[in-house]
Structure 1
């Protein structure tokens, strides 16, 4: 491949049908998932069909964009457009995780003290409610604590026997993800210096670390379900635990796929030291995943 140089003109992409196709796939996926939640018989089929359309859209659309880039059609303005798009995508992901973290904080700071008449005066003042009365008339034997092992109504939701040990797999996974942030940055430096060996080794190491992280996460989930009684149905702690960690694990899986595709493109020589935003976008995403895990480790596993 010839050395890529950004030309100084405003590039306008050709009209594309992929946005419409992708919207149809997203609509089918969401509608099918809603049907699954409501026990609809055609829900799984509709969801699968929607996911298939989405995968086809990504393969076709991204492939078209890659072809444009390899032809040298992307102008500096197009490069800035992609950067802003990736930035706002990450902002939307930050907003998504923020919602679930707020749910966790609300539960810990307001709901649990309210039901257990715990001495969190600031929480009751903000809610303008009668904590002791709620505790007395609804669940007088309930004790406010976190992690919540005994739910207000144990007959309805049996609490877990124990929770995941902070300084076991979670601490190890933290070290693994932090190390992967170093390896992907090292790979980026290799790309900037046109050191292909360093680039490939760094990417392979990052992918392997991500897979190890996912393996430990799966082992942790198996232990939680089979030995600790910590499940999605074991009360608010189990719900928030699996929602937050599961959402993060899904993002790690997506990041691994993205890194693998970037590795294949690197092996084909698609990137140059001065033109490699696709690599940068994936590295931004991976660093975002790392930062989110730090918050999870502190507020879900540790505190």
Structure 2
């Protein structure tokens, strides 16, 4: 209704997002309460089930990005006459891969190093190191998102500019959403670190956040090489 311009479509969309967000917040709050060492409900068997579930979730995410990359390579490896039989299509000025995209690559790889440091610090009982590493990861993630937003504003094409614009914004936008979700994920872990919820041998949620963040890192490397560098040449 919102995209088609129906009256009150935006209000209905906002209410839907709000209800979904509240359901997730209260649900995850209960999971956090169950998972802390204060209650101890997350036994080894429960943690194993959660690990398997999260691994399957990551596999489903891989499939989602696989479909996006499939669309990109299908369009770019054999561009038809409707886009000028060239890639990028005629009239499209691709973004410089060695400007903001390269900077974002450095930011994201650095954030992956800091969150790994945070994880190892937690395992070794270095609480201050764990907190510092997680905080720096969040800062770099926010910088990445800000630069991505600026890049979108400065791009000389839109989502509607041929198949190039569609696959570019679909792939980088999907990844950007994952960066925002991962940032929230790590922020929750950071807050739990500060509140003494996590210990050296009981931090399943934090480990899941770290695995998710490394997945986001790897996907970005494929995006940078394929979409920005090779696809924009």
TM over 0.5: yes
Residues in 2 aligned to 1:43 and 1:176: alpha-carbon distance in whole angstroms: 37
Q: Name the counterpart of 1:100.
A: 68
2:2 to 28, 36, 47: 36
Classify the secondary structure of the residue corresponding to 2:85: coil
Q: Is 2:141 the counterpart of 1:210?
A: yes
Residues in 2 aligned to 1:107 and 1:297: alpha-carbon distance in whole angstroms: 17
Q: Deviations over 1:158-216 (max 9, x none)?
A: x43x1110111111111111111100000000110110110011001100110111111
Q: Name the counterpart of 1:144.
A: 85
Q: Is 2:28 the counterpart of 1:62?
A: yes
Classify the secondary structure of the residue corresponding to 1:37: coil
1:88 to 41, 44, 56: 56
Q: Name the counterpart of 1:279.
A: 206
Unaligned runs of 5+ in 1: 1-34, 117-138, 151-158
Larger Rg: 1
Give how far 1:47 is off: 1.9
Give how far 1:43 is off: 2.8
Unaligned runs of 5+ in 2: none
Relative contact order: is structure 1 or structure 2 higher (C-alpha 8 Å, sep ≥ 6)? 2
1:237 to 164, 185, 192: 164
Residues in 2 aligned to 1:146 and 1:73: alpha-carbon distance in whole angstroms: 55
2:150 to 219, 230, 234: 219
What is the TM-score of this pair, normalised by structure 1? 0.72
Give how far 1:144 is off: 1.5
Give how far 1:93 is off: 1.1
Classify the secondary structure of the residue corresponding to 2:2: helix
